[in-house]
Amino acid sequence: MNKQLRKAVIAGNWKMNKTPAEAKVLIEEIAPLVKDAACDVVVCVPYVDLCTALEATKGTNIGVGAENCHWEPSGAYTGEISAPMLKSMGVEYVIIGHSERRTYFGETDVTVNKRIRAALDNGLKVILCVGEYLEQREQGITAELVAMQVKIALGGVSAEELKNIIIAYEPVWAIGTGLTATADQAEEVCACIRATLASLYCQDCANAVTIQYGGSMNPKNAAELLSKENVDGGLIGGASLKAPDFAAIVEATKQ
């Protein structure tokens, strides 16, 4: 029932794909296909594609996001991009804590929390990624682990600020592997995340938060995943690079 209270959000996570010229082509393919979407549609693109993406999405219903941001506003952090820089361009969303950042670039729950603080302070909407490795699932610690990731990430975030947070549950073993969590597995963890939010804030606050599933979501499995009470959208990697596939997932929110 509470599902109707929340806006479904389908976001593409392009990762390290597409040059600016390619980004323009892909967005121009996506835009007409999603113009009647029943959900919010977002593309999170590499930094170098942001300008092009902002230009190409003008007058469309597609929002633009970055894939990370630093926690300091400026300074001696060679190679980094800050939240004020993103905001000043007109970027609306930022992914924080993606498992690829955690696995390959030393991201921790504590740095995730710092980045979220910076993003919120600069008026960006956050897509916070959490999720377990296969070994952790096999150990039976998924619920505890994900709850801990959420608690640390949201330390110091107020109930008012929670309105600018989307949480993406992304089991690491399902990302880019073609192995999707079953709809029941996704629902179970998304429900745990919502229960964690209720314990940190209040039930109504938790009921208002959009929780996405991510990990090999595609046009074939999207409808079933999105039919679950606590799965309010998707963070889409591979399938977001193909306009018809991405649009089909957007369409699946209409069920």
Q: Contact residues for ligand PGA (CB under 6 A)?
A: 13, 170, 175-176, 214-217, 235-239
Minimum separation from the CB atom of position 235 to ligand PGA (A): 4
Minimum separation from the CB atom of position 9 to ligand PGA (A): 13
Which pair of structure tokens corresponds to residue 150?
Answer: 């959420």
Which pair of structure tokens corresponds to residue 250?
Answer: 């957007």
Instruction: Calculate Rg over the CA atoms of the chain.
Output: 17
Q: Tell me, what amino acid is at 180?
A: T
Q: Which is nearer to ligand PGA, 181 or 201 (by Cβ)?
A: 181
Q: Which is nearer to ligand PGA, 118 or 237 (by Cβ)?
A: 237
Active-site residue, from 67, 100, 107, 170: 170
Q: Which is nearer to ligand PGA, 42 or 85 (by Cβ)?
A: 42
170 is catalytic: yes
Minimum separation from the CB atom of position 219 to ligand PGA (A): 12
Minimum separation from the CB atom of position 228 to ligand PGA (A): 17
Bridge partners (DSSP) of residue 93 are 65, 125
Number of residue whose CB is nearest ligand PGA: 237
- CA 229 to centroid of chain Cα atoms: 18
Active-site residue, from 98, 100, 132, 187: 98
Q: Which is nearer to ligand PGA, 150 or 235 (by Cβ)?
A: 235
- Tell me which residues are annotated as active site: 98, 170
